[in-house]
Amino acid sequence: MKTSNIYLMIFVLVLFAIALWAIVPLDSDRFGRQGLTLGLDLKGGTYLVYEADITKKDTSQTIDEAMTGVVGKIERRANAFGVKEPIIQRQGENRILVQLPGEKNVDEAKKLIGQVALLVFMETTNDAQGQPIRDTAGNIQWTPAKATGTDGAEKELTGKYLKPNSKVMLKQGTNEPEVAFEWNDEGAVLFEQVTKRNLQKPLGIFLDNQMLSAPTVQSVIKANGVITGMAMQEAQSLAIQLNSGSLDLPLKIIQEQTVDATLGADSLQKSVVAGAIGILLIILFMILYYRMSGVVATLALIIYGVILTAIFKLVPVTLTLAGIAAGIVSVGMAVDANILIFERMKEELRAGRTLGAAVDAGFNRAWLAIRDSNVTTFIACIVLYWFGDTFGAFMVKGFALTLFIGVALSMFTAITVSRVFLMAAVRIVKNSWLYGVKA
């Protein structure tokens, strides 16, 4: 056996050992990843597609800049909300896909993620006597609070000047929740001017045009403040929104889907059983028909399965039901590559070549067919992934991505792993009948 083949076998065995260590047990947290990442159809959760109103973007921003900012802020909100490994992706020009695995409080999640969260401070509109003007219904009329910034320009006092350190606190004596916030340097300058001219007057705090509270200004405040008048859950959501920043564009839901976790668990169990039965039948066929070559293919298939699972866990790849189906299909393609090799090898043995020469010739002759079929599959995967990404079909994307990874790995195992093990086998077992040819 060539020295290069020995080194290659050692590499394959070390790679297999590392992959096996990474996934056994499957729920271990080695390399910082715990268990497989399951998609919505297996784990349950919420699938949302938002459409952004790009006509409302800041004129100083491009569409790409505005959308990138919105995606980043939605991701920070989802993470702060406690969703494990949310999937936030831009689709097309102005759509955003949001997947929240395991999230049951759908309404609260939608409110938190999609709300613009534009915090605005308003002061009363006063008459000549300094009294607030009211409308016919008796409601106070408000006007945006403005002040002069450090650059000498007049600016509205909004949440964009807040530092990302807002937090929920309990008011002493009453234990009522309140959101404590802190201004940056520019905001502190504006807030000081606003509170100074509104002493003993109400200052309205509005979130997306809805009043949260209207506390009376008791003293001049510069850097800090609090927002009161909310329930605990509302206060927590507001703190998350203020810390992640206001969304730059208004969003509306155009697609919504809730997946039951019970259905997902049942689908996962049936998929695993079906896959196990299919793989066992493949192994049985390969060993009975190709004998020693089938044993080698089975070893290569085991190594393929372990490494593929490790990739899915460590990348991580979000597995969907369609993705599992693609994984099983890729197993079939891995075996198909071995079949091409073994058939070419049998032809060489019938032509009178030695076992070692037949192995080399079989791999060389089969390579072009394997390459062409796999490249065709890669192209199909790319097209499917593009369509899935464009039209928000996450199952199609999951199928395409998983199949692409699986087929790429199958090329490695068929050409490298199978070859190195088969070269070792022919050095030990020399009976041509065991390779499917009569002696």
Residues 61 and 123 in one domain: no
Q: Tell me how many domains the chain contains.
A: 3
Cis preceding-peptide flag for 250 (omega within 30 of 0): no
CA–CA separation, 66 and 57 (whole Å): 7
Q: Are residues 154 and 272 in the same domain?
A: no
Inside any domain, residue 246: no
**Could you tell me if 85 and 43 are in contact, meaning their C-beta atoms sit under 8 angstroms apart?**
no
420 shares a domain with 364 = yes
Q: Based on the domain organization, do 268 and 410 belong to the same domain?
A: yes
Q: CA 224 to CA 119: how far, in whole Å?
A: 15
pTM of the prediction? 0.63
Residue 195 lies in a domain: yes
Alpha-carbon distances of 127 from 72, 121, 154, 195, 294, rounded to whole Å: 44, 20, 22, 19, 93
Q: Are residues 275 and 197 in the same domain?
A: no
| pLDDT of the residue at 378 | 94
- Closest CA relative to residue 307, chosen from 335, 341, 331: 331
Q: Note the pLDDT of residue 1.
A: 57
Residues 391 and 356 in one domain: yes
Instruction: Quote the CA–CA distance of 148 and 157 in Å, as a whole number.
Output: 10
Round to whole Å and give the CA distance between 407 and 375.
Answer: 9
Inter-residue contact 274 to 329 (CB < 8 Å): no
Indicate whether 98 belongs to any domain.
yes
- Report H helices in 198-260: 232-244
Structure tokens at 129: 């006597």
Q: What is the pLDDT of residue 214?
A: 81
**What is residue 80's predicted lDDT score, i.e. its pLDDT?**
65
Going residue by residue through the chain (439 aa), what tens digit of pLDDT does each one get? 567 778 888 898 999 999 999 888 877 777 767 777 777 777 778 888 888 888 877 777 788 878 887 887 787 777 766 666 677 888 888 888 888 877 767 777 777 777 666 678 899 887 777 777 887 777 888 899 999 999 899 998 888 888 888 889 998 888 888 888 898 999 999 999 999 988 888 888 887 677 877 878 878 888 888 877 778 877 887 787 777 666 767 788 888 877 776 556 677 778 778 878 888 988 898 889 888 888 988 999 899 989 998 998 888 787 777 888 888 888 888 888 888 888 888 888 888 888 888 888 888 888 888 899 999 999 999 999 888 877 767 678 878 988 999 999 988 888 888 888 888 888 888 887 877 776 5
Of all helices (H) and strands (E), which one includes residue 140? Answer: none
Asked if the bond preceding 101 is cis, omega within 30° of 0, the reply is no
3-state secondary structure (DSSP) of residue 47: strand
What is the pLDDT, as a whole number, of residue 425? 85
Same domain for 99 and 192, yes or no, is no
What is the domain range of residue 199?
119-231
- For residue 82, the domain's CATH number is 3.30.70.3400
Q: What is the pLDDT of residues 267-292, one digit of tens each?
A: 777 877 887 888 898 889 888 988 88
Are 124 and 112 found together in one domain? no
pLDDT computed for residue 81 by the predictor: 65
Nearest Cα residue to 237 out of 77, 85, 49: 77
Per-residue b or e along 61-98, where b marks 16 or more CB atoms closer than 10 Å to that residue's CB: eeeeebbebbbebbbbbbebbebeebbbebbeebbbbb
- Could you read off the pLDDT of 343-376 as tens digits, one per residue? 888 888 888 888 888 888 888 888 888 899 999 9
pLDDT of residue 414: 83
Domain CATH code at residue 136: 3.30.1360.200
Count other C-beta atoms under 10 Å from residue 416's C-beta.
16
Residue 244 counted as domain residue = no
Same domain assignment for residues 17 and 70? no
